[in-house]
């Protein structure tokens, strides 16, 4: 019987993988394929590429060295590989993103008489399935989350490496890992499950009370694994059961943003609220550079930006603080910051990143009111009360014996580049110009 191809993308695992079951229905032999797509790798930073490489290496080991990695346009590569092995079907997890949907249509067309089978997705509920009674999409999170929970999700699929017989690759082994100095989490499916079980057993009970504290090891750090599909969210939800936990709410936010982007793909680049198209922005490259490097003179902001460069990750509360500072203290466009995050975050997810930035900027779905301008000093005192997070990521302040949230004359550390109180007024004045 001719083999199938399982084309791995954002599903770099073997457990709870419905596409493997669909491939097994066509026959037992399958080729495991990953395509390095320049359209996706070109804008990615070293940290994301290095973590991806590690996840591919881990998957290859699980497959006994039988993962084929090929470079190029998937619309060319996938049909070529299918012809070379005589495959009659190509199996994928459905991609809900704007580029992924367009790419998959092109691949499906190029495959001609080879069946292209979409099974499941990287989400508990595939984007586009949940709508309001009138058939329109949700724009507000709370009613979406209720409908999402009521809709529910399937139990995890029972799959493993033995679900299929993996044939030898026709060519193309793993490339050399990219150079990367960032401290990254252990990649791959086994590491993902170990991280989840440690969080579930040790930190989940206190998650709601401690999750906003970047100085504590209180979050799950599962976002890189979810982004690359080393674990399916349905697996985590099965462990949580039907409990309405704060962690389940965070998973629902991820699903909400993916669903909204499915309905409104243009919002990956454009304001959800078109009124914000008229908002006046500054375009000062020096201020943007100071923000990127973590040299604004506001310690909680700088700690977050330096953590991003050092780890390819940033605590979620600090993501909001740094985004507010860029858009409302520096008056720079939200998409400048979103692009920087997409380049450096290991967990960079288009839907969550772009709409998270718009939430803070006030232009997005379920947007925070524009006049909610985070005071970076107040936020630092509240969520990093002893300054442990700041000292961890800013060496110049590590031994500062004064107020770490408002350091004065700390050797090597810059003074504030703006006055927050003044810039808050500027931001609100500019918002007044578009709010009528």
Q: Pinpoint the residues of the chain covered by CATH 1.10.579.10.
A: 267-435
Encode pLDDT of 185-199 as tens digits: 999 999 999 999 999
Using pLDDT thresholds of 50, 70 and 90, give the confidence band for residue 4: very high
Using pLDDT thresholds of 50, 70 and 90, give the confidence band for residue 76: very high
Calculate mean pLDDT across residues 373-399: 97
226 is annotated as contributing to ligand binding:
no
250 is annotated as contributing to ligand binding:
yes
Q: Pinpoint the residues of the chain covered by CATH 3.40.50.620.
A: 4-121
254 is annotated as contributing to ligand binding:
yes
Across 191-205, 217-231, 240-254, 294-308, least confident range: 240-254
pLDDT, position 175: 85
103 is annotated as contributing to ligand binding:
no
282 is annotated as contributing to ligand binding:
no
Q: Pinpoint the residues of the chain covered by CATH 1.25.40.80.
A: 124-155+188-263
Please check the confidence at residue 127 and state whether its pLDDT lies above 70: yes
33 is annotated as contributing to ligand binding:
no
Using pLDDT thresholds of 50, 70 and 90, give the confidence band for residue 367: low
pLDDT, position 268: 97
251 is annotated as contributing to ligand binding:
yes
- CATH fold of the domain at 267-435: DNA Cyclobutane Dipyrimidine Photolyase, subunit A; domain 3 (1.10.579)
Using pLDDT thresholds of 50, 70 and 90, give the confidence band for residue 83: very high
Calculate mean pLDDT across residues 315-341: 98
What is the share, in percent, of the chain residues with pLDDT greater than 90?
Answer: 93
325 is annotated as contributing to ligand binding:
no
Please check the confidence at residue 243 and state whether its pLDDT lies above 80: no
Between 415 and 241, the higher pLDDT residue: 415
Encode pLDDT of 143-153 as tens digits: 999 999 999 99
Mean pLDDT of the chain: 96
182 is annotated as contributing to ligand binding:
no
401 is annotated as contributing to ligand binding:
no
Please check the confidence at residue 393 and state whether its pLDDT lies above 80: yes
CATH number at 4-121: 3.40.50.620
Please check the confidence at residue 184 and state whether its pLDDT lies above 90: yes
207 is annotated as contributing to ligand binding:
yes
302 is annotated as contributing to ligand binding:
no
223 is annotated as contributing to ligand binding:
yes
Please check the confidence at residue 366 and state whether its pLDDT lies above 90: no
Using pLDDT thresholds of 50, 70 and 90, give the confidence band for residue 368: low
296 is annotated as contributing to ligand binding:
no
Encode pLDDT of 128-171 as tens digits: 999 999 989 999 999 999 999 999 999 999 999 999 999 999 88
pLDDT, position 371: 79
Using pLDDT thresholds of 50, 70 and 90, give the confidence band for residue 174: confident
pLDDT, position 1: 81
Pairing of the two strands 4-8 and 89-92: parallel
Using pLDDT thresholds of 50, 70 and 90, give the confidence band for residue 358: very high
What is the share, in percent, of the chain residues with pLDDT greater than 70?
Answer: 99
357 is annotated as contributing to ligand binding:
no
- pTM metric for this prediction: 0.96
347 is annotated as contributing to ligand binding:
yes
Please check the confidence at residue 436 and state whether its pLDDT lies above 70: no
348 is annotated as contributing to ligand binding:
yes
- CATH fold of the domain at 124-155+188-263: 1.25.40
């Amino acid at each position: 019987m001719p083999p199938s191809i399982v084309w791995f993308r954002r599903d770099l695992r073997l457990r709870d993988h419905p596409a493997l079951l669909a491939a097994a229905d066509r026959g037992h032999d399958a080729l495991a394929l990953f395509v390095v797509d320049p359209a996706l790798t070109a804008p990615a930073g070293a940290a994301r590429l290095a973590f991806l490489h590690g996840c591919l290496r881990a998957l290859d080991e699980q497959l006994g060295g039988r993962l084929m990695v090929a470079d190029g346009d998937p619309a060319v590569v996938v049909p070529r590989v299918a012809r070379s092995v005589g495959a009659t079907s190509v199996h994928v997890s459905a991609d809900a993103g704007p580029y992924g949907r367009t790419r998959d249509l092109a691949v499906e067309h190029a495959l001609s008489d080879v069946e292209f089978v979409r099974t499941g997705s990287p989400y508990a509920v595939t984007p586009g399935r949940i709508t309001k009674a009138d058939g329109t999409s949700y724009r507000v999170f709370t009613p979406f989350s209720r409908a999402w929970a009521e809709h529910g999700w399937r139990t995890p699929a029972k799959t493993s490496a033995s679900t299929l017989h993996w044939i030898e690759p026709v060519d193309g082994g793993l490339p050399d890992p990219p150079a990367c100095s960032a401290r990254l989490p252990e990649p791959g499916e086994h590491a993902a499950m170990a991280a989840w079980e440690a969080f579930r057993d040790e930190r989940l009970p206190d998650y709601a009370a401690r999750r906003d504290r970047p100085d504590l090891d209180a979050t799950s750090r599962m976002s890189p694994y979810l982004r690359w599909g080393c674990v399916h969210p349905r697996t985590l939800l099965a462990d949580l059961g039907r409990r309405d936990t704060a962690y389940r709410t965070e998973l629902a936010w991820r699903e909400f943003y993916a669903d909204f982007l499915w309905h409104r793909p243009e919002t990956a680049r454009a304001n959800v609220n078109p009124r914000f198209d008229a908002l006046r922005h500054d375009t000062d490259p020096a201020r943007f550079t100071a923000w990127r490097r973590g040299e604004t003179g506001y310690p909680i902001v700088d700690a977050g930006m330096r953590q991003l460069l050092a780890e390819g990750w940033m605590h979620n509360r600090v993501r909001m603080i740094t985004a507010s500072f860029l858009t409302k203290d520096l008056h720079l466009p939200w998409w400048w910051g979103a692009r920087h995050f997409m380049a450096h975050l290991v967990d960079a997810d288009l839907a969550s990143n772009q709409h998270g930035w718009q939430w803070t900027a006030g232009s997005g779905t379920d947007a925070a009111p524009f006049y909610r301008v985070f005071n970076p000093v107040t936020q630092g005192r509240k969520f990093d009360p002893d300054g442990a997070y700041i000292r961890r990521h800013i060496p110049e302040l590590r031994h500062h014996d004064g107020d770490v949230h408002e350091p004065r004359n700390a050797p090597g550390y810059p003074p504030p580049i703006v006055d927050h109180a003044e810039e808050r007024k500027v931001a609100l004045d500019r918002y007044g110009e578009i709010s009528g």
